[in-house]
Amino acid sequence: MLFYPDKNQLFDHKQGIFKAMSRQDRGLCTAFDGIRCIASGELQQVAGKVKKLIDQGDALSVLIFDDVSSELVEVDFRGTREDVLKSLEHRILMVESPSEELSSEPASQRGPGRPKLGVVPREVTLLPRHWEWLNRQPGGASVALRKLVEEARRMNSERDTIRSSQESLYRFMSAMAGDLPGFEEAARALFAPDPEQFDGRVALWPVDIREHVRKLSVHAFGNQE
Supply the mean pLDDT for the chain: 80
Contact 70, 9 (CB under 8 A): no
Question: Do 136 and 65 fall into the same domain?
Answer: no
Residue 196 belongs to some domain of the structure: yes
- What's the rounded mean pLDDT across residues 129-157? 84
Question: Do 151 and 66 fall into the same domain?
Answer: no
Would the pLDDT of 117 be above 80? Answer: no
Please, which pLDDT band fits residue 60 given cuts at 50, 70 and 90?
confident
Domain boundary (49, 81, 96) is at: 96
Domain boundary (73, 96, 119) is at: 96
Spatial separation of the C-alpha atoms in residues 83 and 148, rounded to whole Å: 47
Output phi, psi for 156, to 5 deg: -110, 15
Residue 122 belongs to some domain of the structure: no
Question: Do 59 and 142 fall into the same domain?
Answer: no
Residue 224 belongs to some domain of the structure: yes
Question: Do 137 and 82 fall into the same domain?
Answer: no
Question: Do 24 and 82 fall into the same domain?
Answer: yes
Q: What residues have CB less than 8 Å from 208, skipping those under 6 apart?
A: 32, 35, 36, 37
Question: Do 87 and 133 fall into the same domain?
Answer: no
Spatial separation of the C-alpha atoms in residues 221 and 197, rounded to whole Å: 12
Residue 28 belongs to some domain of the structure: yes
Output the pLDDT for position 94. Answer: 62
Question: Do 147 and 224 fall into the same domain?
Answer: yes
Would the pLDDT of 145 be above 80? Answer: yes
Q: What residues make up the domain containing 35?
A: 9-96
Spatial separation of the C-alpha atoms in residues 54 and 10, rounded to whole Å: 28
Segment among 153-162, 165-174, 215-224 with least mean pLDDT: 153-162
Residue 152 belongs to some domain of the structure: yes
142 vs 46, higher pLDDT = 46
- What's the rounded mean pLDDT across residues 68-76? 93
Spatial separation of the C-alpha atoms in residues 210 and 201, rounded to whole Å: 10
Cis amide linkage into residue 112, ω under 30° from 0: no
The count of structural domains within the chain is 2
